[in-house]
Chain A
Amino acid sequence: MTDEKKKERPKLIPYRVPMPEQDPKARGANFKEVATGYTVEEALKEAERCIKCARPQCIKGCPVQVPIKEFIELLQEQDFQGAINKIKETNILPAVCGRVCPQEDQCEKVCVIGRKVEPVAIGRLERFAADWEREHGQKAEVVVAPPTGKKVAIVGSGPSGVTCASDLARLGHKVTMFEALHEPGGVLLYGIPEFRLPKDIVKEEIDALTDLGVDIVTNAVVGKLMTVDDLLERDGYDAVFIGTGAGLPNFMGIEGENLNGVYSANEFLTRANLMKAYDFPNVDTPVKVGAKVVVVGGGNVAMDAVRTALRLGAGEASIIYRRSEEELPARVEEVHHAKDEGIRFEMLTSPTGVVGEDGWVTALRCIRMELGEPDDSGRRRPIPIEGSELDVPADIVIMAIGTGANPLVPQSTKDLELNRWGYIVADEKTGRTTREGVYAGGDIVTGSATVILAMGAGRDSAAAIHRYIMGEPEEELAEDVSSEGLKQA
């Protein structure tokens, strides 16, 4: 290598600009956002760390292929409006994704400089661009294609439904979105707490849909108020997109699980977030938080629940997880935040029963575990240690051990093939189901996954629905999308 070439190689800046955060002590007592976001100076400094690779890998790590290199380049040029416009070419919810995407497993995981030093903080920069626009930006003129006269129903107003609705509305279709709860937003609203995703941001994204002419019908439980068949055959919709998520909470099936004081994470978070129970009795919905709160599970939802409990006044809030810290499925950042806030982590501990008195939980009966050989998931299998039973005192127990498919829509729709877990069988590229005119995407197809994957699925389905209702040829449509067909593919 010549000296000249050496000079051309960009100098790597080893460390990322830290994300400013609220003081851990202070934030444990409020619901304000934990990470407060980069300033302009911090964003510019972090953007400088991007070396603008000739062959960027980051975009390949993004489920919706945000043009990352290009938007960071625009940030470097201090063209903030240009940067956000660039992101929005493929991602309609950048303020959401910049906050809740697991970037460390996606774009940042494959960032080229990440092989040598810390990867570029892509998520933080995405959030900066989105927040800059919310505060300073020009509201982009809404461009909607001339009306096509076609009607599409979207079932569910979470990330996949919102994305699908937005794309279809822009293409000139009349879109109606049905939401079971009294406010649209799905998991962004009832599940993810304010301190991680401020609800004003969700509201703005929903308002943007209304600006596009999307009709939103709340309190509409499809499968009960009307079926998918009604929508297609009676109400004149040309296509239906099902994005109902994986909303059915799992319980462990252990003794005492129905005692008072035992919640699903869904119920606990819905009371706290959607129903605003933190403001009881100014609002009418209460939530119980005792001196000792124990959350079972190690995912992001478990972290959300335990940190919410802390903010609601729990004296001591703990995570109980049956594997070790290394296997925690939650984002590293969330685990880190939880620890800073004083959350206790009881690793290698698995519940075997709930102990109670007079109908109320008093303790979680557990057994200690050790790690054995790797299981199907590739993670080392936890094995109970004989004779290691212990009772963990608890006033409130929250089960955050995952969710399943809600059967209301799948079971009330004719000719819709489901897999053995009750999720809808749909083509990976188009979301097309076994029922003509019905598409599905997000968690109701994949099982619990991420916001960004659901958005990607909503976008793919929107493109496929557009081709279907406009009578345009669709190669994938020729394929057999039944589970047999998918297996062969």
Chain B
Amino acid sequence: MATKILEKRLIRDPDVFYFKLDAPHIARAANPGQFVIVRLHDSGERIPLSLADINPEEGTISLIIMSVGKTSAEFVSMNEGDTIRDLCGPLGQPTHINKLGKVIVVGGGFGVAPLFPIARGFKRAGNQVIAIMGARSEDLLIYEKEMGTVCDEVLVTTDDGSKGIKGVVTIALERELEKGDTDLVIAVGPAIMMKFVAFTTKSFNVKTMVSLNPIMVDGSGMCGACRVSVGGKTRFACTDGPDFDGHEVDWDLLMSRQRMYLSEEKESFDAWKARHQHMLVEPS
């Protein structure tokens, strides 16, 4: 059954978009930290996408898409009123949300989007929630305002110092951890960022959950494409995760497996670009 795009909004010029989808059944069942699998059309691939928002009253879910490859480029070329061929979810285990005290959520790049419902969940559960958001520069930062509405404090880091603290997220994180009152850190974003967040929190002995994003096919435990190694054991990110203890994850394996189809992804994207020059938004 096809899913209708209700709203499309440019989040960051020119390549990051917000999409609101008409998905009442998924919205009713979904919880923060879960994901969906999308297949845009009959010859499309199945890709996992984290939920950026869930609105059961309205019957909608939201996704943030950055154009980085063929499927995401096709996605951001779609418009309000268009339909997505297949939308499957919610999948994965929800983030375990309870009242702990002080929770730091760390996001990088467009990975901050799924942090929004997670941060809101922890805030509603009565926690002090601090967000640390990193980007290369101010103009690449997304979702800062939205995060401000559900967090007690938002700390921004930029590589070039154009906004907030100059440097990477772990600098801001370290400063917060030094206060000694953090109960939990949650990191969502590129694997390399999550790896260094986990590395940082390890020395402070603060529990750290990360949301892993390996390649998936079915997303329901049937294929094993998404296997990751956690605590020396092979786990399926789609059904056992996506959240795992960041101190136990084999990061190098995750990053290596994420690169498995790099050449095919390029071939597919190049062929598409050659056919769709007019639709392309070039990443800045």
Contact = CB atoms under 8 A, between A and B. Distances in A.
Interface residues of A, number: 42
Contacts of A407: 221, 239
A284 B86 CA distance: 14
A225 B257 contact: no
Contacts of A281: 264, 267-268, 271
B51 to A, nearest CB: 13
A251 B268 contact: no
A223 to B, nearest CB: 9
Interface stretch (A266-274, A375-383, A481-489): A266-274
Interface string A108-145: 00000000000000000000000000000000000000
B279 interface: no
A47 B187 CA distance: 68
A300 interface: no
A217 B71 CA distance: 24
Nearest to A283: B43
Contact of B89 (A225, A275, A406): A225
Given A221-B88, A286-B264, A406 B221 contact: yes
Contacts of A219: 1, 86-88
A450 interface: no
Interface in B209-263: 217-225, 227-229, 234, 239, 253, 256-257, 259-261
A258 B29 contact: no
B85 interface: yes
Q: Which residue, B91, B218, B229, B257, has most C-beta atoms of chain A within 10 A?
A: B218
B273 interface: no
B90 A408 contact: no
Contact of A286 (B46, B220, B261): B261
Contacts of A190: 222
Contacts of B234: 251, 253, 257-258
A15 interface: no
Nearest to B270: A281
B256 A260 contact: yes
Given A247-B221, A249-B223, A275-B45, A221 B91 contact: yes
A181 interface: yes
Contact of B224 (A217, A253, A267): A267
Interface of B is mostly: mixed
B223 A264 contact: yes
A260 to B, nearest CB: 5
A180 B224 contact: no
B70 interface: yes
B126 interface: no
A249 B222 CA distance: 6
A270 B217 contact: yes
B45 A248 contact: no
Contacts of B90: 224-225
A312 B132 CA distance: 47
A285 interface: yes
B81 interface: no
A282 B44 CA distance: 9
Interface of B: 1, 25-26, 29, 39, 43-46, 70-71, 85-91, 217-225, 227-229, 234, 239, 253, 256-257, 259-261, 264-265, 267-268, 271
21 contacts: A182-B88, A217-B1, A218-B1, A219-B87, A221-B89, A260-B259, A261-B260, A264-B224, A266-B222, A266-B223, A267-B225, A270-B223, A280-B268, A281-B268, A282-B43, A283-B44, A286-B264, A359-B256, A359-B259, A406-B221, A408-B220
Given A279-B43, A285-B45, A408-B220, 10 more contacts: A180-B222, A182-B85, A219-B88, A249-B222, A266-B224, A280-B264, A284-B71, A286-B264, A288-B260, A407-B221
Q: Which 8 A-B pairs have the closest CB atoms?
A: A286-B264, A267-B223, A359-B256, A284-B45, A219-B88, A283-B43, A264-B224, A182-B86
